[in-house]
Amino acid sequence: MKKQRIGVLAVCLMLAAAGMGQTPPAKQMAVEKKSGGAARSGLVTPGSEQWMDIPAAALVGTPSVEMGGTIKIAVLQGDPMTAGHSYTLRLSCTDGTKIAPHWHPTTENVTVIKGAFLLGMGAKWDDATMKEVPVGGFASAPAQMRHYAQCKGDGVVQVNGIAPFVVNFVGPGDPGAAKKMN
């Protein structure tokens, strides 16, 4: 009985210490504003996203295929452009929009929220090798993995990872090896 009380007391003390280590939301928002990061609440309801064009700084190189549609971005959490910061964003695209072969400097985690996404691997676009990721589906691309995508229907995907979120476009002769997606 005494050991059980000590165990419960230890757990309570650890929870209290962990709670004290948390940054209060108001203070955290002030820090984010001061550092130039986006101050956002932790709650984003469907339709409340603030859509904008993808910043030019996030796109490096020249796409090897024509986009053929529209892509918008909404940052839900964090700072996708400052190295080492976590982020969560959403990409909205019109039916048929192509995202040319590219790679990212960090792991990219993608969840399909609306529509479907076709994904292919490698530095050269190949419709025959693309796999469909339906609503609720998830894909993870390790850093520097060459891949490409296409929206099937008007779609929304949620992307999260560690910044920077940079799209480095590649051509068919890119020497980077395609790796398997998780």
> For each successive 10 residues of the chain (182 residues), what is the average pLDDT?
38 32 37 41 88 95 94 97 97 98 97 97 96 98 97 97 97 66 52
Give the pLDDT score at 182: 52
Predicted pLDDT at 41: 58
Q: What is the pLDDT at residue 172?
A: 78
3-state percent breakdown (helix, strand, coil) of the chain, nearest 5: 20, 35, 45
Dihedral sign, Cα of residue 180, residue 145, residue 171, residue 112: positive
Three-state SS at 26 = helix
CA distances from 119 to 51, 99, 137 (A): 23, 10, 12
For the entire predicted model, the pTM comes to 0.74
